[in-house]
Amino acid sequence: MKTITEVYMSGGKHTRHFLFPLKDYRHIISYNAFFFGKNRYNRSRDFLYLPFNDEVYQLAQLGNPYAIDTLKILSSNPEIQCVDLYDFYSMIGFNRKTKKYHETI
């Protein structure tokens, strides 16, 4: 399961986080392009989407203070389960074909 948190850019407040599985190689390619590609589509007009990897949970078990604070932030926000990556895109208003956000979001 991948975890993504949504940060409101005006105040820097984490508003919610999403959980979803990456089902096949197309999802992995799309995920990597969304977060780490040349254009970095993880930024809308109002929100920034940040990925968390499994190392955060492992570091928190080892007592890393940054990882423990990160998990506190995640646990204080609503958790939204998505069916897959494309469901996450539709929830945040991102059109994966045109690579743009909807105007209403």
> Residue 39, SS3?
coil
Number of domains within the chain: 1
Whole-structure pTM value: 0.82
Phi then psi for residue 92, to 5 deg, are -95, 0
Domain that holds residue 86: 2-101
- pLDDT band of residue 104 (cuts 50, 70, 90) is low
pLDDT at res. 88: 94
Give the pLDDT score at 34.
93
Q: pLDDT, tens digit, for every residue of 64-75?
A: 888 888 788 778
Task: For residue 101, report the phi and psi dihedrals to the nearest 5 degrees.
Answer: -85, 150
